[in-house]
């Protein structure tokens, strides 16, 4: 199943230019590795892919670039949960997860989204997750920027 992805690799240098970011070989390779993967790669998966074209890259650099891309809205971090969490509300609802403090807020949605044919049939849990900053952490980070 192919889904449309937002930014093509060809458009990446322009994306960097518009944000005043240097389009380095490392950034390009990190973006390409995640863009070309269908498996929601981890830092280590991404590092392995990037090393094929930039053998000297460090895990720290890959990690830093991935988080930089996440804050630029170029990709989504899916690990906002700091540890397994449990929820007895099994009806359709969505989660807002704070990336900073790990707070999880429920919010209602009308119905669970339809699952297309061809997906595996043993299904236990449907979840819609929104990640970002809770009001408290957003206020704290605004204070940090102000001083």
Which of 101, 109, 115, 130 is close enough to bind Zn ion by CB under 5 A? Answer: 101
57 binds Zn ion (CB under 5 A): no
Which of 28, 29, 62, 134 is close enough to bind Zn ion by CB under 5 A? Answer: 134
Residues that bind Zn ion (rule: CB under 5 A) add up to a total of 9
Residue ranges in 61-100 that form contacts with Zn ion under rule CB under 5 A: 87, 89, 98, 100
**HEC per residue, the chain:** CCCCCCCCCCCHHHHHHHCCCCCCHHHHHHHHHHHHCCCCCCHHHHHHHHHCCCCCCCHHHHHHHHHHHHHCCCCCCCCCCCCCCCCCCCCCEEEEEECCCCCEEEEECCCCCCCCCCCCCCCCCCCEEEEECCHHHHHHHHHHHHC
Closest separation between CB of residue 43 and Zn ion, Å? 22
Nearer to Zn ion by C-beta: 44 or 135?
Answer: 135
């Amino acid at each position: 199943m192919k889904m449309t992805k937002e930014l093509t690799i060809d458009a990446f240098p322009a994306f960097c230019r518009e944000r005043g970011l240097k389009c380095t070989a490392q950034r390009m390779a990190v973006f390409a590795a995640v863009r070309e993967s269908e498996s929601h790669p981890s830092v280590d998966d991404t590092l392995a892919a990037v090393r094929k074209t930039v053998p000297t890259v460090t895990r720290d650099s890959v990690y830093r670039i991935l988080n930089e891309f996440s804050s630029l809205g170029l990709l989504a971090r899916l690990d906002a949960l700091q540890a397994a969490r449990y929820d007895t509300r099994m009806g359709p609802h969505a989660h807002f997860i704070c990336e900073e403090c790990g707070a999880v807020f429920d919010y209602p949605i009308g119905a669970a989204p339809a699952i297309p044919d061809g997906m595996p049939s043993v299904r236990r849990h449907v979840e819609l997750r929104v990640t970002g900053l809770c009001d408290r952490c957003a206020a704290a980070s605004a204070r940090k920027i102000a001083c």
